[in-house]
Chain A
Amino acid sequence: MAEMAIKKKRPKNLDLPTIRLPLPGILSIIHRISGAALFLLLPFLLWLFESSLTSAQTFASFKGVVDNALVKIILLGLIWFYMHHFCAGIRYLLLDLHKGIDLKSAVLSSKIVFGVSIALTLIVGVKVLW
């Protein structure tokens, strides 16, 4: 009986091109994508961290890698991913505490997350990378 209750038919709309994702939804999927990307690039980041600390030679090769323009852009993107994940995560912690769960505050807090994470990315990125 319980099995049947769970398998009851529910209306579904998964026609992706017709779904317009609201801002909190965009924030949510970027939260997931940023987390996955940061996970996938962990070996690269750990390798960078290791070579930055190990010896004068590895430090020099670390500088060489980080001075590359393409690497700088990738790292700037990763800093944005980190900052977005950080800010959106704090928003989720507040939602867990039932703060800002009505639609208006949820949209407003999403805008704040995008604004603050991009500002932090520019401040930290420019200071660290250039």
Chain B
Amino acid sequence: MVNRILVGAHYGLKDWIIQRATAIIMAVYTVIFLVVIGSVAPDSLESWRGVFAGGFMRFATFLFFISLFYHAWIGIRDIWMDYIKPDGIRLLLMIATATVLVGYAGWAIRILWRT
């Protein structure tokens, strides 16, 4: 006998998959970034900007940031769901989290495309 109420919302499979997909994107980017930094060894503003000036690194860094913010959304939301029981405060914290993360995404894009 299955003691679960199988009606209503989904069980979070989509978020579970996105959490892992974004983790893999960030892990691959981390390796690429460390290899690039290790070989370029940027020591000035020009060489450091050069790292992100190429189309590939700029796009890969953009993808990393978007993955980071979505990944953070799922992880932080899990923390609120685990520890914050009153619905109102939990909802408020979730909205605040989503709001700052969307803001960070805009900020990251501005940083990358102004360089």
Contacts and interface: CB of A to CB of B under 8 A. Distances in A.
A13 to B, nearest CB: 18
Given A39-B72, A46-B107, A6 B52 contact: no
Interface string B100-115: 1000100110010011
A53 B30 contact: no
B91 interface: no
Contacts, number: 60
Interface residues of B, number: 27
A53 B48 CA distance: 7
Interface in B85-104: 100, 104
B36 interface: no
Contact of B79 (A32, A38, A43, A52): A32
Contacts of A42: 72, 100, 104
A61 to B, nearest CB: 12
A93 B104 contact: no
A90 B20 CA distance: 10
A5 interface: yes
Contacts of A43: 100, 104
Contacts of B52: 53
B79 A36 contact: yes
A110 to B, nearest CB: 18
Contacts of A6: 3-5
Interface of A: 2-3, 5-6, 32, 35-36, 38-39, 42-43, 46, 49-50, 52-54, 56, 59, 86, 89-90, 93, 96, 124, 127-128
Given A38-B72, A59-B48, A124-B34, 12 more contacts: A2-B4, A3-B5, A5-B3, A32-B75, A42-B100, A43-B104, A53-B48, A53-B52, A56-B45, A89-B23, A90-B27, A93-B24
